[in-house]
Chains A and B, each alone.
Chain A
Amino acid sequence: MDKSMNVREVIKDNFNNKRHRGLEKFIPKIFLLAASLSVVTTVGIVCTLLFDAFKFFSRVPLREIFSTKLAPLSANPSFGILPLINATMITSLIAMCVAIPIGLTAALYLSEFASDGLRRILKPIMELLAGIPTIVYGFFAYSFVTPILMKLIPGLEAKNALSPGIVMGIMIIPMVASLSEDAMNSVPNAMREGAFALGSTKLEVAFKVVIPAAFSGIMASFVLGISRAVGETMIVAIASGSSKIFTFDITRSMQTMTAYIVEFTSGDAGSGTLGYYSLYAVGLILFVFTLLMNLLAQYITRKYREEY
């Protein structure tokens, strides 16, 4: 009892405690396991994709793959992937045309013009938009936005690229706005003060100092937004339909890569058929696409990061 009251003795005992030292060694191994789990999963997915996509690429000539004729279920099937890539790019482009200007201006307002109290209310509400399940957005595009657009644009098909493109943009706004706002917010106030002290107006501070200083973060938010649009599935599957035509006409139905996968995993393609393996090929292309986008975002962040 006496011994346990002595500080130095207790500390010494604690150092010699085997159980304590065992935990020190054992617990980090659990952490390692948890950390490697996601890496292993990713590698596993890539391997599966590569393996089955290879079967597809070895059976279908390249010239056919890079053609505009996609007819996987016809008697004489053709697997041109360009209609899918085209549709993905068009819907993503429409989405970014909506998300970038609105997201950036919202971020500017929140970061540079809104009072602290207003920002504390507005930002969480805006981020709530990001929590809406995408199926709801899809439904919203199909049953609300499309009918309105049909009134404005005669000849718009019931399933078209425009409506899901716009709604995807709306879905991505909070992401672009929130990430850009974080980037602008991390620009030190000292820099704004420096600009104000030279007689800058608020607008000048925002555009000549804050945006250039936060440039890398803003660009990264754009790229991540694009990557999100490319990978988005439910909205386009519902509202853009499944016609496999190669067209730049945004009033018509077109099928994106993700929507193609949805259609074919819902049971049309029997295991082992070419159509089945084409899913893996499309999946692989999609994966490579988003991977490149994410790498690009990282590269931009590193290359243009301002050190202050």
Chain B
Amino acid sequence: MISQNTNKDEAKRIIYSVNNLNLWYGKDQALKNLNFTIEENDVTAIIGPSGCGKSTFIKTLNRMIEIIPNVKTSGEIIYNDRNIFDSAFGVEELRTRVGMVFQKPNPFPKSIFENVVYGPKIHGIRNKKKLMEIAEVSLRNSALWDEVKDRLNSNAYGLSGGQQQRLCIARALAMEPEVLLMDEPTSALDPIATAKIEELIMELKKDYTIVIVTHSMQQAARISDKTAFFLMGELIELDKTKTIFTTPRDKRTEDYITGRFG
């Protein structure tokens, strides 16, 4: 049984391969010599106590971390055979392929429709019919279509927090990305909205590779295939979620998931 699983895993394509990644904020090292692989159509959860570098790490995958001044990196992140730090790899291009959903829903102060088609629009799609089609598909895929189809032109801020977050997911999906990065996407939501987002993630993993940072270990256990445990900028353990939560190899992982610290 176990060997069968392993075989199946090996057949999966590697989307991200992180090699010896170090990251500094000024003089403070936030990520230490990370080595990491992310496979196609997996949901990879990243857990760890506050300040362990999990948000920093996920933001490095689409280079959003570079918005912060004085960030330095070393090592490489191979995304589909190309190092994302290569100057030839445009950061904008990377971000159209790797979508991101943030901790707090951050729709633009525009209509629901304009929010979804923002990305396609700035990257050159002008045809109204095509944009409408993109909006509908993206909203259907983010399980929001039925709730908003009659008010696509009303302001996105009229939506509830959970709906706003699904709108932000739709906005990312509109770019037809390959990877979705989610940085604690449910931490600002109530349990019902959280359940909806989790359901959505289970649905989306059929078509997308998902990396999710979460503070909730139950969430990681419920929705992820792989779980990575970070501690003080280091990757302590990365394994199948089941393994991490039942038989972790490292004592520190065990202490964390059993609630002995963190």
Contacts and interface: CB of A to CB of B under 8 A. Distances in A.
B175 interface: yes
Given A199-B175, A308-B157, A194 B122 contact: no
Q: Which of A197, A200, A306 has the most CB of B within 10 A?
A: A197
Contact of B69 (A115, A193, A208): A115
Given A199-B94, A307-B157, 4 more contacts: A193-B64, A196-B64, A199-B122, A213-B108
Contacts of B155: 307
A170 B190 CA distance: 52
B96 A198 contact: yes
14 contacts: A190-B102, A191-B108, A191-B109, A193-B64, A194-B106, A197-B62, A197-B99, A197-B102, A198-B95, A198-B119, A208-B122, A212-B109, A212-B110, A306-B157
Interface residues of B, number: 28
B168 A306 contact: no
A116 B69 contact: yes
Interface in B124-181: 155, 157, 168, 171-172, 175
A250 B107 CA distance: 47
B109 A208 contact: no
Contacts of A262: none
B123 interface: yes
Interface of A: 115-116, 188, 190-201, 204, 208-209, 212-213, 306-308
Nearest to B181: A197
Contacts of A193: 64, 67, 102, 106
B104 A190 contact: yes
A198 B172 contact: yes
Contact of A195 (B62, B118, B123): B118
A199 B168 contact: no
Contact of B106 (A115, A188, A204, A306): A188
B165 to A, nearest CB: 12
B92 interface: yes
A195 B107 CA distance: 9
B238 interface: no
B144 to A, nearest CB: 16
A198 to B, nearest CB: 4
A306 B92 contact: no
B40 to A, nearest CB: 21
Contacts of A196: 64, 67, 95
Interface of B: 62, 64, 67, 69, 92-96, 99-100, 102, 104, 106-110, 118-119, 122-123, 155, 157, 168, 171-172, 175
A61 to B, nearest CB: 52
Contact of B92 (A188, A200, A208): A200
Q: Which of A188, A199, A200 has the most chain B CB atoms inside 10 A of its CB?
A: A199
Nearest to A204: B122
A208 B118 contact: yes
A265 B171 CA distance: 63
Nearest to A209: B108
A194 B107 contact: yes
Contacts of B64: 193, 196-197
A80 to B, nearest CB: 47
A184 to B, nearest CB: 13
A194 B168 contact: yes
B210 to A, nearest CB: 15
Contacts of B175: 198-199
Contacts of B122: 198-200, 204, 208
Contacts of B109: 191, 212-213, 306-308
B105 to A, nearest CB: 9
A197 B100 contact: yes
